[in-house]
Copies of this chain bind each other. A is one copy, B any other.
Amino acid sequence: MEIKALKALAHPVRRQIMVALRSGAKTSGELADLFDASWPTVSRHLATLKEADLITAERKATSILYRANTSVLEDAASAVLALIGADDGDDLNNDMKEAAE
């Protein structure tokens, strides 16, 4: 669930892509222009973000429009907050093997 999201957000470029998408949907090319990395590299980061469901892709003619999926972003933030103990409304993965007290 949010496992993939947090892992995806661990990379600075991918976070910056999310920042770039705050102002609205953008094409792969527009996003690639924002970074020093090559287009294929950005494309792969987009694939990782999409795999984590942090963004959605919509084909518009020859272009592909990407937009941020804010609900998954909120879930990820909740997951981090849940590590503190103050639950934001979502339950965290509590599948650690029981032992101790």
Measured between beta carbons, the chain B residues less than 8 angstroms from A61 are: none
Bound-state CA distance A58–B22 (Å) is: 41
| Chain A interface size, under 10 / 10 to 19 / 20 to 34 / 35 or more | 35 or more
Q: Mark A66-78, 1 if CB is under 8 A from B, else 0.
A: 0110110110110
Which chain B residues lie closer than 8 Å to A6 at the CB level? 6, 9-10, 15
Count copies of this chain in the complex.
2
Question: Which of chain B's residues have a CB closer than 8 A to the CB of A96?
Answer: 16, 19-20, 34-35
Mark interface residues in A47-67 (1 if CB within 8 Å of B CB, else 0).
Answer: 000000000000000000001
Residue of B19, B20, B83 near A73 (CB, 8 A) is: B83
Asked whether A85 lies within 8 Å of B10 as measured between CB atoms, the reply is no
